[in-house]
Amino acid sequence: MPVSQSDFHHAKPIYENFAGWTEDITGCRTFADLPKNAQDYIVALEKISGARISAIGVGPGREAIIVRHDMLAR
């Protein structure tokens, strides 16, 4: 991450394309329930960011969430 305006000015974006999905994911409650392309996207985000994705929102309700890595579990 650039720390100064000068560094930011010289930064070059890196674009990566991912296949999308058309399936309705609002009923998904586990990672395995997600379409393959959605799973691949989540795994790629984890790899690129170097961080584990703990939860994935799949709809507007509070229950519409997939817990991928429980942050509170030891």
Task: Determine, yes or no, domain membership for 6.
Answer: no
Structural domain tally of the chain? 1
Task: Determine, yes or no, domain membership for 31.
Answer: yes
Task: Determine, yes or no, domain membership for 10.
Answer: no
Q: What pLDDT does residue 5 have?
A: 83
Task: Determine, yes or no, domain membership for 39.
Answer: yes
Q: What pLDDT does residue 9 have?
A: 83
Of 17, 11, 36, give the one whose Cα is nearest residue 25. 36
Task: Determine, yes or no, domain membership for 62.
Answer: yes
Task: Determine, yes or no, domain membership for 8.
Answer: no
Between these two residues, 7 and 23, which has the higher pLDDT value?
23
Instruction: Give the predicted TM-score (pTM) of the model.
Output: 0.79
Q: Return the percentage of the chain with pLDDT > 90, whole number.
A: 72
Burial class (CB in 10 A: 0-12, 13-18, 19+), 12: exposed
Helix residue ranges, H only, the chain? 5-10, 36-49
Domain that holds residue 58: 21-74
Structure tokens at 33: 């329930």
Q: How far is residue 31's CA from residue 67's CA, in Å, rounded to a whole number?
A: 8
Q: What pLDDT does residue 1 have?
A: 59
